Amino acid sequence: MSKIESAYKEIEKFIGPDFISNKDFVKAAYSRNVDPAFPDRWADMIVRPESPKEVSEIVKIANKYKIPIVPRGGGADLVGGAATDEGILIDLTRMNRILEINEDNFYCIVETGVTWGALVSELYKKDLTTGILGPGSGYSATIGGGLSNSTAGFGSTKYGLVPDICLGVEVVLPNPKGAIIKTGAASNKYAEPICRYGVAPDFTGLFMGSVGTLGIITKAFLRLVPNSPYKIRKNYMLNSDDYTILFQLMNKLQREVRDGLHDLYITPKMILDLLSTFVKKEDKPPKRPRIKGPVLMFILEAFDERILDVYIEQVDEIMKDHARPFEWTEIDTSYDLTKDWKMNLKFPYNYFNKFIALIPGRISCTTCHKVPIASMAEKKQLSTEFDITHQSEFPPWSMAAFASSIHLLPNGHCVFAGGFNAENREDQRDASMKLWHKKVRAQVRYGGIHYWLGESISQSIVESGAYTPEFIQFFKDIKKAVDPNFLLSPKKFHMYNYEDNLSKYVVNNE
């Protein structure tokens, strides 16, 4: 009996035959995430545990037989993080209970397989929210995925990234004992999980953005805030395609409007031009749209209608010399007017779909990264130069943009959300993957900070030579401490064993 078969039998004993499978069609069903470049990857088996205890048992057996393990949340990952071509794929979506919503002390305890849509819906019933509403895939993405990928999403301009609302986690460590630990205030077994800092070093942070390399997050303690009753959306189009002016406006908005800014999203001019060419004939506006610059979409929020009016006045005042009010109906008449807009979950959770597959069938090789707002013009230029220089390497009919959307974060930086698209076809994968890595390396070298790292991006950062040898050693030491057999999420960060020298993956002369 092979070690895979032995492990299968042992796991089946406690999890039951209904929640483990090694059937080919089940492996095929779990073989992809949302990206076109990775090949289909078939795990040796897929398991669906329902408790941290079961996860712990799986980890113990994986260690016994030295079989790799990869956790998977909603599987909405864009960077190859939640599929594997070997070992045990752990589908965590069965662990989807909301265990406590503490209205008195503004926190909640959830299993990490719960989706953002489910949690936020439950919180809204109590006029509460997580602030950041999770990633753009919030209908399917899980809390665990949001934490493991340090995700931004709607609400991030004000409330920050997903880890910023995390007060602690329960984690199954990938060591031979499958140890279960809690971090943050919850590491004090006598305390409620009310805060993240104080009781010990911030071990929560170890697992934020670790893309499943250091532990399997099974529970999360999240900070809650009251949900503001007054929200409004406003759009402006900049009078010119000038990113220096855009920076100045963003800086001013942060200084003066601050808490009123639930979100500021910017759609670059080239994306507007592109979207206007995709409009269905029946939805074309009577006049050809005049697109002079990027569109800024504000979501403003307040707890008092009078304060919201003040925010609106402030934004109007800041924008008046450089932009004009804009309606999407100028490009596509099927869109709603901003006056008819209401905050609902479909808006944030479907917002990015049009960018992920601008043309159906072609999916984004995503390169979302953060840059300082003062450097937007420079980074835009560098990114565009990369695309021009490497034009011949793009897959057929691929489109690339320095950003499909720009999202302001709480202080002076923003996300350039974007990438290039490619078809999910065997004959294009190699070229797409090579270009994807190369593009990310270029972004890393101009100072871009990627956050969903998955497999492709984490490897590209290593390849760029961005990490110092000391940092890599520190990372490996920590990895070895929690995962001595290097079984959890192998391949991410090109980290396969303790002895391996990561410098050999650095790609020079680019």
Partner 1 sequence: MAKISDISKEKYKYLAKLEQMFLTCISCGDCREAVDITADPPKDGVCVAREHTSGFEPFFSRGKMQIIRSIWQGKLSLSKDLAEVFYQCPTCNACSETCAYDMDNATVYEALRAELVEAGCGLESHASMNQAMVDLFNPYGRDNKQKGNWIEQLDFIIKNAITEKAEILYFVGCTAALTPEIQSVALNTVKVLKKMNVDFAVLGEHEVCCGSVAMRTGDRRAFNSVSSKNREIFEKCGIKTIITSCAGCYRTLKIDYADILKELEIEILHTIEFIHRISLEKTIPLKNLELNVTYHDPCHTGRHTGLYEEPRDILRRIANLTEMKNIKENAKCCGAGGGVKKGFPELSLEIAKSRIKEAEETGTDYIVSICPFCYRNLSDAIKALNSKIKMIDLLELINQALK
Site for partner 1, rule CB under 8 A: 18-19, 21, 23-26, 28-34, 40, 46, 48, 74-76, 91, 93-94, 96, 115, 117-118, 121-122, 124-125, 137, 139-141, 343-346, 349-350, 353, 356-357, 360-361, 363, 424, 426
CB atoms within 10 A of CB 198: 12
Provide the token pair at 211. 């893309």
Task: Find the shortest distance in angstroms from Cβ 368 to partner 1.
Answer: 16
Q: How far apart are CA 475 and CA 473, in angstroms?
A: 5
Task: Find the shortest distance in angstroms from Cβ 492 to partner 1.
Answer: 20
Q: How far apart are CA 431 and CA 421, in angstroms?
A: 12
Length of the chain equals 510
Task: Find the shortest distance in angstroms from Cβ 86 to partner 1.
Answer: 17
Residue among 128 and 291 whose Cβ is closer to partner 1:
128
Task: Find the shortest distance in angstroms from Cβ 307 to partner 1.
Answer: 23
Amino acid at 388: I
Residue among 32 and 437 whose Cβ is closer to partner 1:
32
Q: How far apart are CA 416 and CA 377, in angstroms?
A: 12
Could you write out the three-class secondary structure of 46-62?
EECCCCHHHHHHHHHHH
Task: Find the shortest distance in angstroms from Cβ 40 to partner 1.
Answer: 7
Residue among 334 and 344 whose Cβ is closer to partner 1:
344
C-alpha triplet 161, 115, 44: angle, nearest 5°: 105
Q: How far apart are CA 446 and CA 464, in angstroms?
A: 10
Task: Find the shortest distance in angstroms from Cβ 36 to partner 1.
Answer: 9
Residue among 363 and 502 whose Cβ is closer to partner 1:
363
Q: Are 366 and 79 in contact (CB under 8 A)?
A: yes
Q: Please, which residues bridge with residue 71 across strands?
A: 90
Task: Find the shortest distance in angstroms from Cβ 212 to partner 1.
Answer: 17
Residue among 119 and 315 whose Cβ is closer to partner 1:
119
Task: Find the shortest distance in angstroms from Cβ 32 to partner 1.
Answer: 5
Task: Find the shortest distance in angstroms from Cβ 342 to partner 1.
Answer: 8
Residue among 288 and 346 whose Cβ is closer to partner 1:
346
Q: How far is CA 436 from the centre of its chain?
A: 17
Q: Please, which residues bridge with residue 172 across strands?
A: 180, 216
Residue among 40 and 241 whose Cβ is closer to partner 1:
40
Residue located via tokens 């070895």:
480
Q: Which residues are CB-neighbours of 213 under 8 A, at least 6 positions away?
A: 479, 483, 488, 489, 492, 493, 495
Residue among 194 and 279 whose Cβ is closer to partner 1:
279
Query: How many Cα atoms sit within 13 Å of 259 on the Cβ side?
Result: 8
- For 285-344, give the DSSP string: -SS-----SPEEEEEEEESSHHHHHHHHHHHHHHHTTTEEE--GGGT-TTSPPGGG----
Residue among 98 and 466 whose Cβ is closer to partner 1:
98
- For 374-386, give the DSSP string: GGHHHHHHHHHHH
Task: Find the shortest distance in angstroms from Cβ 357 to partner 1.
Answer: 5
Q: How far apart are CA 81 and CA 79, in angstroms?
A: 6
Task: Find the shortest distance in angstroms from Cβ 434 to partner 1.
Answer: 21
